[in-house]
Each structure stands twice: as C-alpha cells, then as structure tokens.
C-alpha cells in the first residue's frame, strides 16, 4: 500500500523540533568558515542524506550524528561512504 503523504524535501531540519533546529543552526553558524564545506557541497551532502534509508528525523542511524552538523564539516565523511571528506589543502567547488 502506498501512502499519499509526502515528506518535505526542502530541509532535513523541518523534521525535527524547531527550537533544537535553531540551536543547531547557531552552532553551525559559529563554526569557522575554513572548516566548513561550501554551500553547494553542503546541499549535495544533505540531498544524499535525505535519500538514505538510515536517516530518521535528522539523525543518521549508522553513526548517531545529526547529519546537518556532520555534513557541514570538511573533514567529516558519511559512514556509508556516500560522500567523503575534503582535505584542508583542497578547494571545494
């Protein structure tokens, strides 16, 4: 049986508590820019996570992380190797 309900694809944070989402956004905002991926890489990573069967309410069931936080950091990788780290000496897009 298929459901007629559709999930919001705009943002993983839409699926979690608004206050928590705001706190997470603030944490991300305060990370040094040189430690973060560029916005297009971040969106690409989040799109991959949104399509992953291990994602539930913004949390990766493979590692227990909040994917929004994991995905923004250059050094982080997906536990399933769906996206990889970007070394500090390499420019991303």
pLDDT in tens, 8-55: 555 665 666 777 878 888 999 999 999 999 999 999 999 999 999 999
Question: Is 77 inside a domain boundary?
Answer: no
Residue entry with tokens 């982080």: 76
Residues 20 and 75: their CA atoms lie apart, in Å, by 24
pLDDT in tens, 56-86: 988 999 999 999 999 999 999 999 999 999 9
User: What integer pLDDT is reported at residue 2 of this predicted model?
Assistant: 56
Question: Is 33 inside a domain boundary?
Answer: yes
Residue 73, helix vs strand vs coil: strand
Q: Are 83 and 77 in contact (CB under 8 A)?
A: yes
Strand partners, 66: 59
Q: Which domain holds residue 64?
A: 12-72
Question: Is 88 inside a domain boundary?
Answer: no
User: What integer pLDDT is reported at residue 22 of this predicted model?
Assistant: 84
């Amino acid at each position: 049986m298929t459901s007629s309900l559709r999930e919001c694809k705009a943002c993983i944070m839409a699926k979690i508590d608004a206050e928590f989402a705001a706190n997470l956004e603030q944490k991300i905002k305060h990370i040094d820019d040189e430690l973060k991926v560029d916005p297009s890489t971040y969106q690409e990573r989040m799109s991959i996570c949104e399509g992953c069967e291990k994602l539930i309410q913004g949390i990766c069931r493979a590692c227990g992380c909040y994917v929004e936080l994991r995905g923004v950091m250059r050094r982080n990788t997906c536990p399933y190797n769906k996206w990889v780290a970007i070394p500090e000496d390499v420019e991303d897009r």
